[in-house]
Structure 1
Amino acid sequence: MLGAVDSQVFWELLAQLLEDSRHRPTEQPFNSANLPTIFGEVYHALAGLPIGESIDLAEVVALRRHYLRSSSSSLMEGAADHFRYIRISRGATFPGIPASSTARKFASMTEEVPPWFLTMVPA
């Protein structure tokens, strides 16, 4: 389980979890302008997720079946090479209180998107 994942990290991580390689464009960093283009309907389904709600990612898009493994991963024989279940939840917000420790350190940081929560179950 990953909790309180900020938006930039979330989309980068999400790209690695999806089967279609178009979600992992080379030489193109993710930003708010290109996320809808890169992720298409996945973006709209997740961006429209109300705070406190969650969704089974496999109901929205095909999950990646195999991940690249390094030579050092042979130490973990029999380890799962994909996730069989991924649940995405839209994090909570508390009025007047920043959701992250970073925002609490900077008084000028007023806009902050609600964090994401991921529950990932290996195969």
Structure 2
Amino acid sequence: MCHNLHSDHRIRLQLAARRARRGRLSGLGQQCDWLIYNDRSPLRWNELWIALIYPIVWIMVVLLRGATDGWVPYPFLNPAQGYGIVALYALAIAVATVIFAAVIWTVSRLNPLRSPALAEIR
């Protein structure tokens, strides 16, 4: 009986490790696809704001939950420390998001394999 429990635990650990590797490889494959293949036009600069939608909604949900039941996933977003401090952290998250998105937007324009015709579309 004890041997079966140990075996089951080992199998679960092996499956979890496989899922984690597959997740990392899938993400890496998607990034390589985006960087290497030239079937997409460059991203428009006037669409950079789209990258802020998720972080803004996420911060609003975290603040609402923190204000209603006191639980927040990160201490720096805890409304109990004051909304001014939380606003500074939210601003830092927004700035980091825009910087990261700008890098991605720039890389979308630097793809040497992209067809010149696609660059003219946008």
Q: TM-score, normalised by structure 1?
A: 0.21
Q: Would you tell me which structure has more helix in proportion to its own residues?
A: 2
Larger Rg: 2
Q: TM-score, normalised by structure 2?
A: 0.21
